[in-house]
Amino acid sequence: MVQLPPATTILQVIPDLKSGGAERTTVDMARAIVAAGGTALVVSQGGPMVTELEAVGAEHIVLPIKSKMPWTLWQNAARLTQLIEERGISLIHARSRAPAWSSLRAARRTKTPFVTTYHGTYNQSNGLKAFYNSVMARGDAVIANSHFIARLIRDRHPFAQDRITVVQRGSDLVGLAPENLSSLRRQALKDAWGIPAGRPIILNMARLTAWKGQAVVIDAMADLKESGHLEPIAILAGDAQGRDGYLADLKKRIADRGLNDQVRLVGHCADVPAAMALADLAVVASTEPEAFGRAAVEAQAASVPVIVSDLGAVPETVLAPPEVEENERTGWRVPAGDPDALANAILSALSLEASLKKAITDRALAHVRANFSVETMCDRTLEVYRSLLRG
C-alpha cells in the first residue's frame, strides 16, 4: 500500500455524491487516502453517498460547487481558497469541469498542487466548449481514466501531453465475486424484481439516459420475441435522475412492442454484486463512447458474460476479435445502436456450452484482476499525489 507523507490533507472536489463512476471513485480514493495515513476531505453539494464517504473516515463539506454560473464559480474559488488556508490542504483534486475552474483558481492563489481527472468525453462542439473543457487538462497532473481518454486529451489539449497519466478505473473485485454473496441477498433482489424461476436474465445496469442505449436493448428484445425466444428477461436497472420524459418514453416503447413480460424497468439498484449474481448475461448498449465502462468490468469480475457496444474504451476492458484471437475473447462487442446485432449476440452468448462459457468468464476474470482492481487504481492515484507533493 502506498503511503502519503506525514500530515497530508487531500481535498477532492466533485459536483455531488448521488451515483456514478466519478462519485464511486471519489469514495474509493477517500478510503485509500485515510488508509495511506492522510486526511481526506470532499467538497460537493451532497447526496446519498455522503454517508458511505463519512463511514470510511473522510469529511464532507457542502458548497454550491455544481453551479456553472460565473459569479458562483468566482465565489466558490474564494471559498476553496479559504478552505485550503484554514485546513492546510496539501493537494486539491477536481473531478468535474465547473468545480475544476474554481479549484484551479484557488490552487493557483495558494500555490497548492492541482490534479484533475478527465472522467468523460465531454461534448466539444465549438470553441467555447473547448475552452470550458480545457480546465480538465490544466492540472499539474492530468489523470485519464482510460487510454482512449488519454488519446482524446492529447488530440484536444496538446499542451497537456507531458502531464497525462493513465489510471484506469478500478472496481471492488472481492465484493463482486459471486462466492462472496449470500443466497439471502440474491433472493431478496430477485423477489424485489419479481423474476420467475428458470428464465435467463439479461442485465443492463446504467443510469436512464438516451445515450446509454436502453432503447436499443428494448428493440433487441423485440427481435428476440419475434423470432420465438420468449424466455429471456431484460432488466433495465438505473436511476432516471429526473429524466421523467425519457422514462415515460421507455415504458411506452416496452408496451408498444408487447414486451411487458420480457423487459423490466426496476429503477436504481443499490446492490450491484447481487444484481450481477442473478444475471446470466450483462449488456452495455451505449450509443456514444464510454470513457471507461465500469459496468463491463463489473460483469467480468462477477463471472458474467458481457456484450458491449464497440466504441470508446471498450477494447481495453472487453477483449474480442479482431484485436485478439478467438481463444482470448473475454466478451462480445457489437456495433453501437444496432438491435439486430445485439439480439444475435445475446442468442450466441446464451446458447454457449457450459465449458465454453466458463473458459470465457475465467479469462475475463483474469483480465480484470490483472488490470482493474480498486487497489491498483488507488495506488496509482496515490503515486500521482506523492510525485507532486515531493515536487
Q: Which CATH number fits domain 9-170+373-390: 3.40.50.2000, 3.10.20.90, 3.30.470.10, 3.30.300.30?
A: 3.40.50.2000
Q: Identify the H or E element spanning 202.
A: strand 201-205
The structural domains of the chain, with segments of one domain joined by +, span: 9-170+373-390, 173-371
Domains 9-170+373-390 and 173-371 fall in the same CATH topology: yes
Distance CA(210)–CA(253), nearest Å, equals: 13
Q: Identify the H or E element spanning 62.
A: strand 59-62
Distance CA(46)–CA(3), nearest Å, equals: 28
What pairing do the DSSP bridges indicate for beta strands 114-118 and 91-94?
Answer: parallel
Q: Which CATH number fits domain 173-371: 3.40.50.2000, 3.40.50.1220, 2.130.10.10, 3.40.50.300?
A: 3.40.50.2000
pTM of the predicted model as reported, rounded to 2 decimal places: 0.87
Ramachandran class of 203: left when φ > 0, alpha when ψ lies in -120 to 50, beta otherwise = beta
Residue 372 forms beta bridges with which residues? none
Distance CA(376)–CA(231), nearest Å, equals: 39
Query: What amino acid occupies position 374?
Result: V
Pinpoint the alpha helices (H) of the chain.
21-35, 50-55, 70-87, 97-110, 127-133, 147-156, 173-176, 183-193, 214-226, 244-256, 272-278, 294-301, 314-317, 339-350, 354-371, 374-390
Question: What is the pLDDT tens value at each position of the chain, 391 positions in all?
Answer: 789 999 999 999 999 998 778 999 999 999 999 999 999 999 999 999 999 999 999 999 999 999 999 999 999 999 999 999 999 999 999 999 999 999 999 999 999 999 999 988 998 889 999 999 999 999 999 999 999 999 999 999 999 999 999 999 988 889 899 898 888 999 999 999 988 888 999 999 999 999 999 999 999 999 999 999 999 999 999 988 889 999 999 999 999 999 999 999 999 898 999 999 999 999 999 999 988 888 999 999 999 999 999 999 988 999 999 999 999 999 999 999 999 999 999 999 999 999 999 999 999 999 999 999 999 999 999 999 999 998 6
